[in-house]
Amino acid sequence: MKDKAVRVIEIKQNVFAKNEVNANKIRQQLKEEKTFMVNLMASPGAGKTSVLMRTIAMLKDEMKIGVMEADIDATVDADTIATTGVKVIQLHTGGMCHMDAEMTKQGLDEIDSSDVDLLFLENVGNLVCPAEFDTGATENVAILSVPEGDDKPLKYPLMFEVSNLVLINKIDAKIIFDFDDDAVVERIHQRNPKAEVIFLSAKTGEGFEAWCDWLRRHVKGQQE
């Protein structure tokens, strides 16, 4: 008896292909709305919310800002952002460790992305899964904090390959932790030669003018 042919279905490939289509539709929508959207990715505790709080304080009088907070559960970060007075919604991923384009679209509809100039998606805290799924954001930005170590671009390469800007946060902690600035920049550029790197501290504000200038330029570019 001959062996029956087994049909193989590449599920992961199909999932990513569908997500890519949805992500491109979102980017087109954002372009038409003249909304610049940042997909902010980092490990838990790297300082995503702290960076957003200081960023909002510096820019909220210049432009309309919105924030979509993605978490597996709870509303802790959204409650914190809400104290700034900007538009914010909480997105629960139902146990998933990342956002994808379909979930992002639901968030855009809820927050009304057409009514903001700068929109942040604070992705689920994780250096692996969020990098695999295109959310449709205009730009991906990764945050790496000093306590995590300068070797993370070697251990989690995809995160740094898909991010064209990397914020090195908590530089005020370098007096405690052994962190090599030159090494981390070199390792990031091994993964993505075009990536910009900005060193900053959400605690002291150091480096935030460079980060905010980056945002100003890109928001202006999206509106032209």
pLDDT at 11: 54
The pLDDT-based confidence of 93 (bands split at 50, 70, 90) is: confident
Q: Which distant-in-sequence residues (6+ apart) come within 8 Å of 3 by Cβ?
A: none
pLDDT at 16: 83
The pLDDT-based confidence of 107 (bands split at 50, 70, 90) is: very high
Mean of the pLDDT values across residues 112-120? 97
Counting residues of the chain whose pLDDT is more than 70, the rounded percentage is 95
The pLDDT-based confidence of 138 (bands split at 50, 70, 90) is: very high
| Residue 86, both tokens | 């900007």
Helix, strand, coil shares of the chain, percent, nearest 5, are 45, 20, 35
pLDDT at 8: 56
pLDDT at 95: 79
DSSP H helices, 65-207, are 76-82, 101-111, 129-132, 152-155, 157-161, 181-191
Contact 88/52 with Cβ under 8 angstroms? no
Span 171-223, pLDDT tens digits? 999 999 999 999 999 999 999 999 999 999 999 999 999 999 999 999 999 99
CA distance 119 to 137: 9
pLDDT at 182: 98
Q: Is the dihedral of CA 99, 69, 181, 178 positive or negative?
A: negative
Residue 63 confidence (pLDDT) above 90: yes
Contacts 24+ apart (CB under 8 A), 23-28: 23/101, 23/104, 23/134, 23/135, 23/136, 24/136, 25/101, 25/105, 25/136, 26/101, 26/104, 26/105, 26/108, 26/135, 26/136, 26/137, 27/136, 27/137, 27/138
Residue 62 confidence (pLDDT) above 90: yes
pLDDT at 102: 95
More confident residue, 46 or 97: 46
pLDDT at 118: 98
Residue 136 confidence (pLDDT) above 70: yes
CA distance 114 to 215: 18
Q: What is the pTM of this model?
A: 0.92
Residue 12 confidence (pLDDT) above 80: no
CA distance 38 to 136: 9
Residue 108 confidence (pLDDT) above 60: yes
Per-residue CA distances from 173 to 30, 59, 155, 181, 200 (Å): 37, 25, 22, 13, 11
Span 20-46, pLDDT tens digits? 999 999 999 999 999 999 999 999 999
